[in-house]
Amino acid sequence: MNEVRRLLPDLRSASGPASPERLAERGFDQALTKAWAMSSQAIIDEVTASGIKGRGGAAFPTGLKWSSVNKAEGQTKYVVMNADESELGTFKDRVLLEEDPLGALVGLLIAAHAVGARKAFCYIRGEYREVEQMLAKAIDTLTQLGWAGPGRIDVEIRRGAGAYIAGEETALFNSIEGKRPEPRVKPPFPTNKGLWGSPTLIQNVETLANVAILFAHDAQWFAEYGTKATAGTKLVALSGHIQRPGVYEVPFGMALADILNAPDLGGGVAGSGRLRAVLLGGAAGTFLSPDEVAQSQLDYASLGAFGASIGSGAVMVFDDTVDLQWVLTKLARFFADESCGQCVPCRIGTQRIWEIAEKGGLWTRTEDLRELGQAMRDASICGLGQTAPLALLSILDRPGLRQDV
């Protein structure tokens, strides 16, 4: 068996995902009891020792972030669960919240307790209505058991309204505040000035779920899977030409080829059965050639050698019948549609890349595209514009992938 089930609950579990029985079964009640008996510093030290990094895509060390918010000056502090999952090919937070909503919520409560926040928000993608209902049930359970609620840590759900950009942390704050979700300039960082100008800790669903299982056990147990550099497991979302699409939990360090081919994971390339490329990390990710896939492990250093990152954990598989120019055109249209329009490089740059793609100029106007892409990476305000050209640039750097069908 290559698949691990730690973040995801045991398939044999008969308890309701949001029930008190599940809370006990997963050891989350003990995790809360344990964390509540610890000082802020001890909790943060435990998170730091585990080596958990942010699972939303940026892989920022979680313990460091918590420490910054804890030290930041301010009477009011907030914690936010970012469940605005909108990256293309990414559906892991949805599965996590459907199957085990208490995990991420327990992580959220521990985070609030550690940094001294009395108010927590769950910002969930608007289309995830059923997931939201599951989340609301889990909040009810925690409220009835006395862990959450007014006077304790008040947890409130906020729904997105269909904008990809609202998943960017500072745009998300603006959305919660009732404003247009335009990203803010950083610095100041959310750890100092986030929601309503107060220090704010914002984490991805999967990051918080990791915290919950860490406190249900300990750092040593946590490190039983994964590599020396990155302990633990990662949820990956397989889609495209793959025999068994879906969300899988795998240890860090697993060979990418095994994720694609193991019978209990991807089960092999579908379609023609011959791999053309893998898009890793979603629309804002990097294309890897079959050779690179064969040499890569699911770890930051291994993928960094190819200019790639795990990102959100999206793994999109394309067989050799796929015209990648067509894929890039789709991606370009996505970004042009989802740019908020605030800054010039992203607002107009995403539009021009889309137009060039539509006119079939991706392989001929490479110098223009490289300069445009570089300007977008360098000068856009937020991660959307900065990463919008990455998939395109990764193909320009890999001429071997450009052969048309």
Partner 1 sequence: MGNSVTLQIDGQPVTVAQGTTLRAACDEANHAVPTLCWHENLTPANACRACVVEVKGSRTLVASCSRVAEDGMEVQTASERVLNARKVVAELLLSTSDASLAPDLLSLADTSGANPDRFGGGATWQQPVREDNNLYIRDLSKCILCYRCVEACGDDAQNTFAIAVAGRGFGAHIDAGFGRDLPESDCVYCGNCVAVCPTGALIGKTEWDLRSQGQWDESKITQTETVCSYCGVGCELDLHVMDNRIVKVTSPADHPVTHGMLCVKGRYGYEFAQSEERTD
- Bridge partners, 242 (sequence order): 269
Q: Please state the closest distance from residue 352 (CB atom) to partner 1, in A.
A: 5
Nearer to partner 1, 111 or 343 (CB): 343
Nearer to partner 1, 9 or 183 (CB): 183
Q: Please state the closest distance from residue 322 (CB atom) to partner 1, in A.
A: 26
Nearer to partner 1, 273 or 360 (CB): 360
First to last CA, the chain: 36
Nearer to partner 1, 208 or 353 (CB): 353
Amino acid at 194: G
Q: Please state the closest distance from residue 294 (CB atom) to partner 1, in A.
A: 30
Instruction: Report the alpha-carbon distance of residue 249 to residue 11 in Å, rounded.
Output: 13
Residue 324 contacts residue 362 (beta carbons within 8 Å): no
Nearer to partner 1, 170 or 289 (CB): 170
Instruction: Report the alpha-carbon distance of residue 236 to residue 315 in Å, rounded.
Output: 7
Task: Please state the φ and ψ torsions of residue 267, each to the nearest 5 degrees.
Answer: 75, 10
Q: Please state the closest distance from residue 326 (CB atom) to partner 1, in A.
A: 19
What are the residues binding partner 1 (CB under 8 A)? 163, 165, 180, 182, 185, 187, 336-345, 347-352, 355, 368, 371-372, 374-375, 377-381, 386
Q: Please state the closest distance from residue 340 (CB atom) to partner 1, in A.
A: 5
The radius of gyration computed from the CA coordinates of the chain, to the nearest angstrom, equals 21
Stated length of the chain: 405
Nearer to partner 1, 5 or 365 (CB): 365
Nearer to partner 1, 34 or 352 (CB): 352
Q: Please state the closest distance from residue 284 (CB atom) to partner 1, in A.
A: 14
Of 122, 207, 172, the closest CA to residue 383 belongs to: 172
Strand order in the sheet with 246-251: 246-251, 233-240, 314-319, 275-280, 286-288
Q: Is 364 exposed, middle or buried (0-12, 13-18, 19+ CB in 10 A)?
A: exposed
Of 396, 376, 379, the closest CA to residue 388 belongs to: 376
Of 320, 318, 321, the closest CA to residue 331 belongs to: 318
Q: Please state the closest distance from residue 291 (CB atom) to partner 1, in A.
A: 28
Q: Please state the closest distance from residue 341 (CB atom) to partner 1, in A.
A: 3
Nearer to partner 1, 170 or 233 (CB): 170
